A = this chain, B = another copy of it.
């Protein structure tokens, strides 16, 4: 019997949470290995040499195989049949649904993740570390965040309750984990965005108790 895949994560990291929830929902045989980013546990030589040369989370180690990047991990684990088919439908050849999930997962990097993640960093993380940005730069990322949340409301969720249709997929989970992070600096993405608001509730319902478990810190620290 082979050892389970080791999953290295920190629930403060949005894609770490997404894969954590996806593994839970899929009943994946992974061994959870929490990594405390705040303590710099990812910055040791040992972590770099034995776990992830990029010194980031999430990442996995499967025997002698190391893999970083959450979405590459999702696909690898799906091919190992460790991901629920409804969340990432790889079995159907030339599946259009799979392509729509991929389209969202590729889209979110330079849109939702860049803007929500940067706003989180500039408005919550950096001030806590004594780093002060110019207000103009913060405003630029906040504006970009608004633009992308509006694309969620008016394009992705225009006609369907979930991002790619009537059912929850990995796309919804990745998107929601990114957006939840903004609560830490007191932002409510659902205000004036009824579709985003309803969708966040639906994603939470469809994935609980894992969603609340993964977001325990975010919800506790959130000012909302």
Contact = CB atoms under 8 A, between A and B. Distances in A.
B106 A114 contact: no
A150 B90 CA distance: 35
Interface residues of A, number: 32
A99 B75 contact: yes
Interface stretch (A64-72, A191-199, A216-224): A64-72
B106 A69 contact: yes
A69 B103 contact: yes
Contacts of A99: 65, 67, 72, 75-76
18 contacts: A54-B155, A67-B100, A67-B103, A68-B103, A69-B106, A71-B102, A71-B106, A72-B102, A72-B103, A72-B105, A72-B106, A75-B102, A76-B99, A79-B93, A79-B94, A79-B95, A110-B110, A110-B113
Interface of A: 53-54, 65, 67-72, 75-76, 79-80, 93-96, 98-100, 102-103, 105-107, 109-110, 113-114, 137, 151, 155
